[in-house]
Amino acid sequence: MTSTLAPFPAARPRRLRTSAAIRNLTRENELSVNDLIWPVFVRDGKGMEEPVQSMPGVLRRSVDKVVEAAIEAHALGIPALCLFPYTDPSLKTEDCAEAWNSDNLCNRAIRAIKAAVPELAIMTDVALDPYNINGHDGFVIDGEIRNDETVEALVKMTLAQAEAGADIIGPSDMMDGRVGAMRSALEARGFHNVKILSYSAKYASGFYGPFRDAVGASGALKGDKKTYQMDAGNSDEALRMIARDLREGADMVMIKPGLAYLDICHQVKRAYRVPTFAYQVSGEYAMIQAAAQNGWIDGEQVMLESLMAFRRAGCDGVLTYFAPQVARLLNG
């Protein structure tokens, strides 16, 4: 259904663009701090804030500094933070046991944040790559990324995070059957209100490069992730993946990367009418920051415009490294 316009000059569409007041009044979509999930990198140590080279403005923080960042995020009105651990290489193994260690970096960070700002929602990422000696999201056995063995490990990882106090579990591994397995394990253990925001439509993408740098996985990764992450040419498949995860018990779904996959965001929201999120990933962030630093674009304007695009496409929210910067701007 499209709206009709009177013929010119009865209709002059520019009338509605003449002043900020009128533009504000007639804007169809809004970006708010309530739409933001802030991905944060955690590292070992104390009092540490270490810049990520390929992501200007992004830091790896030790747990005490993550707590400070969480307090600030909450004060800014950001509803949720998503944790990504930079695991010491000595803790990476073939069996990935550190992933479900109840005292690993991620779980320590969850407990520390929950003790300081219990109102802030904490999301986690579930995949084996930060703990895997070969950088993959699943177990590699005889050169093959094994699905079912990985799902068992992801369930253990999920339960350890839920026990630590995670509010939202974010399976990012793209193994088959993981959402259902996580949901029944959570129910069986009494975690009835732990939410699953599934990375349902996650593409094998070049846009993840800077992230793998940030979590120290680029050096380790052997090969690519194309046998589990999706092919860039597919959109029907994305809808099937979303439908499957919802049937298995996901509360919310995600499309990743963001801008290059806006068509998918739009279709998913249209088709399923469920809470839909996009991940504006590291490469998207890095491209905007790099061009802004060179003076080639207005970084602030492009940041806001790119985030508004997700809202226009139908997303309820966005995971973005820009979260604190946007929140400060929106709060004036």
Residue 156 is a catalytic residue:
no
The residue (of 71 and 302) whose beta carbon lies closer to ligand PBG is: 302
Answer whether 271's CB lies under 8 Å from 317's CB.
Answer: no
Go through the chain and tell me how many residues it has: 332
Footprint of ligand PBG on this chain (CB under 6 A)?
A: 125, 127, 129, 137, 172-173, 208, 211-212, 225, 281-282
Toward ligand PBG, which CB reaches closer, 183 or 225? 225
User: C-beta of 127: minimal distance to ligand PBG in Å?
Assistant: 4
State which residue, 117 or 125, has the beta carbon closest to ligand PBG. 125
Determine which one of 202, 225, 226, 269 is catalytic: 202
Q: From the CB of 37, what's the least distance to ligand PBG, in Å? A: 12
Instruction: Provide, rounded to whole angstroms, the least separation between the CB of residue 151 and ligand PBG.
Output: 14
Of 41, 121, 125, the residue nearest 73 (C-alpha): 121
Catalytic residue among 65, 92, 256, 269: 256
Minimum Å gap between C-beta 189 and ligand PBG is: 24
Shortest distance in whole angstroms from residue 191 CB to ligand PBG: 22
Residue 39 vs 79, nearer CB to ligand PBG: 39
CB of 26 to ligand PBG, least distance (A): 34
Tokens of 258: 């963001």
Sheet strands (E) in 52-100: 59-62, 80-85
98 or 137: whose CB is closer to ligand PBG? 137
176: number of Cβ within 10 Å: 15
List the Cα angle 289/293/295 in 5-degree steps: 120
Measured in degrees and rounded to the nearest 5, phi and psi for residue 20 equal -60, -40
Active site residue 46: no
The one-letter code for the residue type at 217 is A
CA atoms within 13 A on the CB side of 303: 23
17's CB contacts (< 8 A; 6+ apart) are: 23
Sort 303 into a burial class: Cβ within 10 Å, 0-12 / 13-18 / 19+.
Answer: buried
Q: Residue 38 or residue 191: which is nearer to ligand PBG going by CB?
A: 38
- Characterize 207-233 residue by residue with b for buried, 16 or more Cβ atoms within 10 angstroms of its Cβ, and e for exposed: bbebbbbbbbbeebeeeebeebbbeee
Reported in sequence order, the residue ranges of 184-228 that DSSP labels E, i.e. its strands, are: 195-202
Give the catalytic positions in this structure: 202, 256
